[in-house]
């Protein structure tokens, strides 16, 4: 049953996306897109027709710039990718270890403090967190530069469009440092919620796993504690965490809109904001399509990871 639901969730998102291409989209483009997403048949046609009526216009060209929306999205993809990847990296590198420690030392002071901090992290509006960061570290302390991806005096050669990669490839270490400094505040703003969610999920699934028989057995036969935690418990506890990480990556698009707007980060999120305020319907549709596509792809990736982590799961 759950497998059916899983597949339905994965099968359906492409369909509204397909219709979001608009009435004026050519058959070939619709088909290309459908094929790209691995979907051949739309299921809830009624709903799609409703969307079709509701969202007029087509993906074709941006009303504001006159350029194809697809191109606008591709230009901005590297910036958004760099930001979200970095934010997620921070979230996982902090969230998983802290979650593990909280679970192993349940009810310790550290556990209580991090639990409340995590809940606070989820409760803060991203845009407020971003504003506070800008005010404290950007303006008052002048520690971190903003807005944008690079300072006015820094130039890097664009190869992939990802500042950190490009600057390293061209051995431009000053550019790398500048890019890294620009990345810190937006990444913290964007990464706080996933960090908190990952931390909570890791903690609760670790707690669950630590009570399992095989962990007790491992302990009983004298396996050293850290080995029990990392080898026996963590690997099994990672499954729900991986799901949550996947979900969060999909949801980051929403956070990216807000974060990029505040930091004038030239990515898809800022583009989304500009499209919405400029009532550029074609671009809005493009962004939504991108968001849904990302969501589906990430979920697919999560399924594959499942099989890697847990040999019992077959794709």
Partner 1 sequence: MAEAQIQQDEAVSLGVETRSRRQDFLRAFFSNRLAIFGTAIMGVFILMAVFAPYVAPYSPLQQHLPQKFAGPSFAHPFGQDELGRDILSRVIYGARISLTAGLAAVALATTVGTIVGLAAGYLGRWPDSMLMRLMDVLLAFPSILLAIVIVSILGPSLANAMLAVGIVFIPQIARVVRSAVISVRERDYIEAERALGAGDAQIVLSGILPNSMAPLIVQATLTLATAILDVAALSFLGLGARAPTPEWGAMLTDAFRSGFGVFLQGQHAIIFPGVAIALAVLSVNFIGDGLRDALDPRRRG
Give which of 65, 67, 61, 17 is closest to 39, Cα–Cα: 17
Least distance from C-beta 180 to partner 1, angstroms? 23
Contacts of 306 (CB under 8 A, 6+ apart): 239, 242, 243, 313
What would the 3-class secondary structure string for 223-279 be? CCHHHHHHHHHHHHHHHHHHHHHHHHHHHHHHHHHHHHHHHCCCCHHHHHHHHHHCC
Least distance from C-beta 24 to partner 1, angstroms? 18
HSE-up (13 A, CA, CB side) for residue 165 = 12
- Residue ranges binding partner 1 (CB under 8 A): 5, 8-9, 12-13, 15-16, 43-44, 47, 54-55, 116, 119-120, 122-128, 131-132, 134-135, 138-140, 207, 250-255, 257-258, 261-262, 272-273, 276-277, 279, 281, 284, 287-288, 291-292, 295-296
Residue 68 CB neighbour total at 10 angstroms:
15
Closer to partner 1 at the Cβ: 234 or 298? 298
Least distance from C-beta 39 to partner 1, angstroms? 12
Whole-angstrom distance, CA of residue 17 vs CA of residue 20: 5
Closer to partner 1 at the Cβ: 132 or 307? 132
3-state secondary structure (DSSP) of residue 53:
helix
Least distance from C-beta 176 to partner 1, angstroms? 27
Give first-to-last CA distance, the chain, whole Å: 15
Least distance from C-beta 27 to partner 1, angstroms? 23
Closer to partner 1 at the Cβ: 86 or 146? 146
Closer to partner 1 at the Cβ: 55 or 183? 55
What b-and-e string marks burial along 191-216, b requiring 16 or more CB atoms within 10 Å of the CB? bbbbbbbbbbbbbbbbbebbeeeebe
Closer to partner 1 at the Cβ: 169 or 251? 251
CB 196 within 8 A of CB 119: yes
Closer to partner 1 at the Cβ: 236 or 259? 259
Least distance from C-beta 121 to partner 1, angstroms? 10
Closer to partner 1 at the Cβ: 74 or 135? 135
Least distance from C-beta 31 to partner 1, angstroms? 21
């Amino acid at each position: 049953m759950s497998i059916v639901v899983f597949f339905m969730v994965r099968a359906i998102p492409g369909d509204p996306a397909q219709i979001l291409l608009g009435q004026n989209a050519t058959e070939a483009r619709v088909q290309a897109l459908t094929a790209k997403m691995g979907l051949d048949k739309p299921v809830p046609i009624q709903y799609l027709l409703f969307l079709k009526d509701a969202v007029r216009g087509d993906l074709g060209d941006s009303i504001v710039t006159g350029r194809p929306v697809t191109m606008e999205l591709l230009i901005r993809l590297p910036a958004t990718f760099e930001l979200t990847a970095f934010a997620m990296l921070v979230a996982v590198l902090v969230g998983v270890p802290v979650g593990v420690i909280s679970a192993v030392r349940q009810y310790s002071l550290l556990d209580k403090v991090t639990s409340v901090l995590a809940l606070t992290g989820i409760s803060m509006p991203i845009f407020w967190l971003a504003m506070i960061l800008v005010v404290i570290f950007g303006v008052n302390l002048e520690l971190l530069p903003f807005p944008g991806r690079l300072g006015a005096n820094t130039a890097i050669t664009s190869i992939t469009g990802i500042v950190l990669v490009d600057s390293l490839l061209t051995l431009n270490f000053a550019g790398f440092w500048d890019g890294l400094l620009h990345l810190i505040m937006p990444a913290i703003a964007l990464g706080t919620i996933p960090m908190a969610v990952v931390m909570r999920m890791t903690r609760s699934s670790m707690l669950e796993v630590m009570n399992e028989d095989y962990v007790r057995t491992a302990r009983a036969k004298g396996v050293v504690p850290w080995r029990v935690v990392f080898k026996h418990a963590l690997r099994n506890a990672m499954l729900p965490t991986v799901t949550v990480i996947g979900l969060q990556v999909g949801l980051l698009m929403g956070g990216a809109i807000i974060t990029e707007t505040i930091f004038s980060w030239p990515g898809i999120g800022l583009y989304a904001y500009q499209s919405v305020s400029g009532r550029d319907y074609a671009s809005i549709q493009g962004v939504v399509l991108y968001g849904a596509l990302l969501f589906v792809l990430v979920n697919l990736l999560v399924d594959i990871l499942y099989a890697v982590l847990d040999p019992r799961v077959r794709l």
